[in-house]
Chain A
Amino acid sequence: MRLTQGTFSFLPDLTDAQIRAQIEYCLAQGWAVSVEHTDDPHPRNAYWDMFGMPMFDLRDAAGVMAEVDDCRKTFPRHYVKVNAFDATRGWESLRLSFIVNRPPSEPGFALEREEGAGRLQRYALRSYAADRPEGERY
């Protein structure tokens, strides 16, 4: 099952040229771009690992692209995303975040049902990949 998180997630995967164009746009807006990766695809996993520091004062996307390629090479089977942070007062949050790398096969999620008191039914989402310990997934 293909993971859909962040911007452009219902589009086909972006090509490198498209990723570069998106980063160029972010830099033109004055946003700080950073690269993050994870092997836990759960939608509530908000804490992805940073790959290096966020990059400030960049003028050209080449620097970010080098970092993205570096991250893909180090973690070829992880999810990798590019974030753009807007530090403008009032925003102070991510403005754009999209996936730039995904594992070759994505097993997807299981829906788990739990019986509660009475006829109460609780639901939980569990990713098949997370069955194995961190670092051995995918």
Chain B
Amino acid sequence: MSAPAESLPLDLETLYRDSNVDAVLQALERELVGLAPVKTRVREIAALLLVEKLRRSVGLEAGAPSLHMSFTGNPGTGKTTVAMRMAEILHALGYSRKGHLVAVTRDDLVGQYIGHTAPKTKEVLKRAMGGVLFIDEAYYLYRPENERDYGQEAIEILLQVMENQREDLVVILAGYKDRMQRFFESNPGMASRIAHHIDFPDYDEAELFAIAGIMLEKTKYRLDAGAEAALREYIALRKKQPHFANARSIRNALDRARLRQAKRLFEQRGARLTREALMTITAADIRASRVFEDKGEET
């Protein structure tokens, strides 16, 4: 018995064009630098949902796929940003009905006294329904050193909803890799309900520079030739220092450079300003950073 090989009324190409997922994926590619493994996985999920839609249209029901995810990676690697994009993609593909993102931490889920946790967690879950629930630093939910901690209760309610109302919401847990690892080891129920573990790699220097370029473009600033070299140098130095938070550190550095640029312009307020001058960050604005001072002291 061979399956009938009739061709389908809908092909993937039409479906892909009809959903505006293409635009979201393009934006992901354009606005997020690096993150190759993340982008691959996002594409895979998008493909799965498209194929699933096509399968459903010809009566091949398979039930809603489990899309709960865990994002692990160092600070500033784009976990929250990708979660927001993920909500858009899931909405574009019709998996989540509203496509909004509710970002919470332990404080929003866990109560302060007995009987406080369950209503609190349930309220957050209800708010997130139809969209994506993003739990930042999820490992704080579970505190093994305190056996009367209410975090366990929140985890149990989460698990129940993750299992029973899969089509209503997608849960994304995020945090540092090693601590998430430990969190999953002590909560096997949670680990088994999460289908997608996505690791966010650190950015290399060229990627960080590209990120700075995107940030500047968005805020309508530009670097002059000297500043570009200074920024490259800055990134190399900052990367070696403690508390380096990838893209977040770059954003902070640029914010401080803007501050210095404003101060510099203010100090020469007698002179007539050009539009160009208002946009330009010079090498001096960047080289005034503490990062360069430290280098002087050390070497």
- A60 in contact with B131 given A52-B119, A53-B123 (CB within 8 Å): yes
| Interchain CB contact under 8 A, B119 and A55 | no
How distant is the Cα of A64 from the Cα of B127 in the complex, in angstroms? 10
| Interchain CB contact under 8 A, A60 and B129 | yes
| Interchain CB contact under 8 A, A62 and B119 | no
Query: Cβ of A110 < 8 Å from any Cβ of B?
Result: no
How distant is the Cα of A61 from the Cα of B168 in the complex, in angstroms? 10
Tally chain B residues at the interface, Cβ within 8 Å: 14
**Taking CB as reference atom, which chain B residue is nearest A63?**
B126
CB-CB under 8 A from B111, the residues of chain A are none
7 A-B pairs with least C-beta separation: A60-B130, A63-B126, A62-B129, A62-B168, A63-B129, A60-B129, A59-B98
| Interchain CB contact under 8 A, B165 and A58 | no
How distant is the Cα of A2 from the Cα of B36 in the complex, in angstroms? 63
Tally chain A residues at the interface, Cβ within 8 Å: 13
| Interchain CB contact under 8 A, A59 and B100 | yes
Query: Cβ of B196 < 8 Å from any Cβ of A?
Result: no
How distant is the Cα of A75 from the Cα of B98 in the complex, in angstroms? 31
CB-CB under 8 A from A1, the residues of chain B are none
Distance in Å from the Cβ of B130 to the closest Cβ of chain A?
Answer: 3
Task: Offer 12 A-B interface pairs, CB within 8 angstroms, sorted by A.
Answer: A58-B129, A59-B98, A59-B131, A60-B129, A62-B97, A62-B130, A63-B126, A63-B127, A64-B126, A66-B129, A66-B165, A67-B126
Within 8 A of A (CB), among B3-62: none
**Taking CB as reference atom, which chain A residue is nearest B98?**
A59
Interface string of A26-68 (1 = CB under 8 A from B): 0000000000000000000000000011010111111110110
CB-CB under 8 A from A52, the residues of chain B are 119
Query: Cβ of B125 < 8 Å from any Cβ of A?
Result: yes
| Interchain CB contact under 8 A, A59 and B165 | no
How distant is the Cα of A33 from the Cα of B169 in the complex, in angstroms? 19
CB-CB under 8 A from A61, the residues of chain B are 130
Q: Among the listed A53, A57, A60, A66, which residue makes an inter-chain contact with B119, where contact means beta carbons less than 8 Å apart? A: A53
Residue among B97, B100, B123, B126 with most chain A CB within 10 A: B126
| Interchain CB contact under 8 A, B97 and A60 | yes
Q: Among the listed B119, B125, B127, which residue makes an inter-chain contact with A59, where contact means beta carbons less than 8 Å apart? A: B127
How distant is the Cα of A53 from the Cα of B120 in the complex, in angstroms? 11
Distance in Å from the Cβ of A15 to the closest Cβ of chain B?
Answer: 19
How distant is the Cα of A62 from the Cα of B125 in the complex, in angstroms? 10
| Interchain CB contact under 8 A, A60 and B123 | no
